[in-house]
Amino acid sequence: MRGTNARSGSAGPEDGLTDFDGAAEILRTWGAGLTPDPDLTVSQWADKHRMLSGRASAEPGRYRTGRTPYMREIMDRLSPGDPTQRIVFMKAAQVGATEAGNNWIGFAIHQAPGPMLAVQPTVELAKRNSRQRIDPLIDESPDLRERVKPARSRDAGNTMLSKEFAGGILIMTGANSAVGLRSTPARYIFLDEVDAYPASADEEGDPVTLAEARSLTFAHRRKVFLVSTPTIRGLSRIEREYEASDQRRFFVPCPHCGAMQWLKFDRLRWQKGKPETAEYHCEVCDAPIGEHNKTAMLEGGEWRATAVAADPTTVGYHLSALYSPVGWLSWARIARGWEAAQGSDEAIKAFRNTILGETWVESGEAPDWQRLYDRREAWKPGTIPAGGLFLTAGADVQKDRIEVDVWAWGRGLESWLVDHVVIEGGPDRHDAWSELTALLDRSWPHERGAHLHIARLAIDTGYEAPAVYSWSRAQGFGQVSPVKGVEGFNRSSPVSGPTFVDATEGGKRLRRGARLWTVAVSTFKAETYRFLRLARPTEEEMADGAAFPPGSVHLPHWVENEWLKQVVAEQLVTVRTKRGFARLEWQKLRERNEALDCRVYARAAAWIAGADRWSEEKWRDLEDQLGAAPTDTDPAGQINRPGQAPQGKRRSDWLGRRGGWF
């Protein structure tokens, strides 16, 4: 068998078949391809090879798994030697999950090359992640720089969304791009912030399902890492995946009695108004545990399964920010964040999502209209009660009328229905718009003697939008805000904008369109129902000085049954899409719901005015203005202090286009 290796049957070097330029490189690459995956785990690789960049990390230098011990097992599950195929991580912010995912990417490039797909919620976020995270990951680690050529080199295969290396490629894309999700088979799939993914990628299906399909050909050798901060119960992808897993919790020892337990927010206690006194209380011995004990507790911690997984190849982990290492997010800051969130459902929702790593439960059960009828209150019709500090209005344009509700708002978004106006005639009737304009010039008497104008009116553009745009432009956008309602809860803000939209008037193309605000009506409807269900103090409690809780809704005795039925005319239900995914949807219980819509628009107007973000000083300024005796009044009804506007404010900041709010 001349020229043949007797053991392998392959051609040997003496055959001359490898006597050409580049043969050594081919043999080296061929041999590397036959090399089995290394025994090194992802956490071991990170401690040995990973360097953190000062432009991408608050703690630059060599990566230390010991800083976040709870990430060790999660990273090691991503190692090729571990049989787990799917790793689910439902987490809070600031626990080190992003860097752990980057460690996995670096490990794959260096130690176990193969095709990898990294998915962000959008393509734009994928580009940003590439610049801010992946490029520093490669640049700061010499072992990775050797394997990924600089983007400026010829035939580098290195672009913003693609990094080629020997034996593999990293493709980065967004969950909104179906093309990116089905571009190539992938052994490794990193799905980051899955709860922010759209319901469908370019109408081609669930992004997670599309992405995971890329790994099926790799069978047991595949790795899928799903990471996210959760959002809303029933809609959260990461919660659904976690609940189908073995639901692991990180158990840590009590420094006093040694009892192992996972950290719960209700065990964190502090003196009211003094978050710096926050301490964790052991659930066994109830002894207080100081923040300085956390480092030792984390080092002695371990992950324990609390359920049986539906799929034995999937493991799931949950972690709150209570575990954040010393020097990151402290228990005192968590306590301060909880106190600051009180009175705002959006703030409490964000706290539960980003600090506790838990879903937010949207309750859309409609209150009973008859109960609202029984809770009506008596105050002088057309008068603003003492707690009301400014007015907004919501206008709903119908085919044959325009309905407007005027609401007064106070601290903690406590609100009072001040007026209900029905303007006969639809948007094609000129007099209807004139009456709506007159409403902007009208003032309502306050219990303390002032007269308040509408600070901002939000008007729906769902019917005859061009007519609404035209009227809004004529009034000026300082007092009028055209709005467009959109469904869905997974939005970064309940109101976004404004955006300039094109409009036509008499067939003429306008150079600059109206300023349109987008309103997440689902969020404000759920908030309204929560506010309507709030318990109220009894007469005895109020006599002792008890106040209404933040968000309380006060309805006047003159409000009619029809209005009450309209404000509770919808119900939040869970529906299934054609592909079987859950979705929350508002459905009408009766045909007419104008009162609810007007309330939502008036609430959006309060948000646009800034009430959700006002400082204590601003609220005091409003109270001072109303509490002062009116020494001088301008023709528009504005209370003028002798010689100046509220302290710290320029008069031009305080007054609106029509002479201010008062």
The listed range with the strongest mean pLDDT (3-7, 56-60, 207-211, 554-558) is 554-558
Q: What angle do CA 231, 236, 238 make, to 5 degrees?
A: 105
**Class of residue 58 by CB neighbours under 10 A (exposed 0-12, middle 13-18, buried 19+):** exposed
173, pLDDT greater than 80: yes
pLDDT at 639: 33
Residue 629 exposure: Cα atoms within 13 Å on the Cβ side = 1
Q: Strand 86-91 vs strand 415-424: parallel, antiparallel, or unpaired?
A: unpaired
pLDDT at 234: 72
35, pLDDT greater than 90: no
Name the DSSP class of 113.
-
Give the residue-averaged pLDDT of 638-651: 32
Look at 5-9, 493-497, 590-594 and tell me which has the smallest mean pLDDT: 5-9
Q: Look at residue 225 and give its three-state secondary structure.
A: strand
Beta strands in 490-594 (DSSP E): 495-501, 504-505, 508-509, 514-520, 553-554, 570-576, 582-588
577, pLDDT greater than 70: no
Give the residue-averaged pLDDT of 313-326: 95
Determine if residue 551 is left, alpha or beta; phi over 0 gives left, psi from -120 to 50 gives alpha, anything else beta.
left
pLDDT at 37: 54
The total of other beta-carbon atoms located within 10 Å of residue 354's CB is 19
513, pLDDT greater than 70: no
583, pLDDT greater than 90: no
Q: How confident is the model at residue 555 (pLDDT cuts 50, 70, 90)?
A: very high
pLDDT at 506: 57
278 phi/psi in degrees, rounded to 5: -60, 130
Look at 56-70, 162-176, 506-520 and tell me which has the smallest mean pLDDT: 506-520
648, pLDDT greater than 60: no
pLDDT at 638: 35
Distance CA 98, CA 82 (A): 21
Alpha-carbon separation of residue 88 from 41, 238, 318, 386 (angstroms): 18, 7, 9, 52
Q: Are 45 and 106 in contact (CB under 8 A)?
A: yes
Q: How confident is the model at residue 501 (pLDDT cuts 50, 70, 90)?
A: confident
pLDDT at 26: 75
Look at 69-73, 326-330, 588-592, 643-647 and tell me which has the smallest mean pLDDT: 643-647
DSSP letters, 125-153, are HHHHHIIIIIHHHHHT-HHHHTTS--TTS
320, pLDDT greater than 80: yes
Q: Are 488 and 521 in contact (CB under 8 A)?
A: no
pLDDT at 23: 75
The listed range with the strongest mean pLDDT (88-92, 358-362, 657-661) is 88-92
105 closest CA partner among 67, 151, 63: 63
Question: Amino acid identity, residue 222?
Answer: R
445, pLDDT greater than 60: yes
Sign of the CA dihedral running 10, 12, 15, 21 = positive
Residue 242 exposure: Cα atoms within 13 Å on the Cβ side = 26
Q: Which of residues 120 and 6 earns the better pLDDT score?
A: 120
pLDDT at 34: 64
Question: Amino acid identity, residue 539?
Answer: E
Alpha-carbon separation of residue 611 from 42, 342, 379, 449, 618 (angstroms): 48, 15, 24, 23, 9
Chain position carrying tokens 């109830």: 286
Look at 21-30, 130-139, 210-219 and tell me which has the smallest mean pLDDT: 21-30
Q: How confident is the model at residue 298 (pLDDT cuts 50, 70, 90)?
A: very high
Distance CA 240, CA 223 (A): 19
The total of other beta-carbon atoms located within 10 Å of residue 276's CB is 12
pLDDT at 246: 93
The total of other beta-carbon atoms located within 10 Å of residue 20's CB is 9
Q: Are 489 and 521 in contact (CB under 8 A)?
A: no
Mean pLDDT score of the chain: 83
Q: How confident is the model at residue 417 (pLDDT cuts 50, 70, 90)?
A: very high
Q: How does pLDDT run across 78-106, given as a tens digit for each residue?
A: 999 899 999 999 999 888 888 899 999 99
Burial 413-446 (b: 16+ CB within 10 A, else e): bbbbbbbbbebebbbeeeebbebbeebbeebbeb
Q: How far apart are the first and last CA of the chain?
A: 104
Look at 426-435, 481-490, 627-636 and tell me which has the smallest mean pLDDT: 627-636
**Class of residue 217 by CB neighbours under 10 A (exposed 0-12, middle 13-18, buried 19+):** exposed
Look at 328-342, 564-578, 608-622 and tell me which has the smallest mean pLDDT: 564-578
Q: How does pLDDT run across 594-631, given as a tens digit for each residue?
A: 999 999 999 999 999 999 888 888 998 888 888 743 33
pLDDT at 584: 76
pLDDT at 16: 58
Q: How confident is the model at residue 177 (pLDDT cuts 50, 70, 90)?
A: confident
641, pLDDT greater than 50: no
Q: Strand 302-305 vs strand 288-289: parallel, antiparallel, or unpaired?
A: unpaired
Q: Are 461 and 468 in contact (CB under 8 A)?
A: yes
Q: Look at residue 293 and give its three-state secondary structure.
A: helix
Q: How does pLDDT run across 453-465, given as a tens digit for each residue?
A: 999 999 999 888 8
How many residues are there in the chain? 662
pLDDT at 547: 85
Q: Which of residues 382 and 154 earns the better pLDDT score?
A: 382
Which element (helix H / strand E) includes 302?
Answer: strand 302-305
Q: Look at residue 657 and give its three-state secondary structure.
A: coil
H helices then E strands: how many in the chain? Answer: 22, 30
Distance CA 221, CA 80 (A): 7
For residue 91, what are its two tokens? Answer: 């987490």
pLDDT at 646: 35
Q: How confident is the model at residue 206 (pLDDT cuts 50, 70, 90)?
A: confident
Distance CA 399, CA 397 (A): 7
Give the residue-averaged pLDDT of 139-155: 76
640, pLDDT greater than 50: no
pLDDT at 254: 96
Share of the chain above pLDDT 70, in %: 84
pLDDT at 599: 95
633, pLDDT greater than 90: no
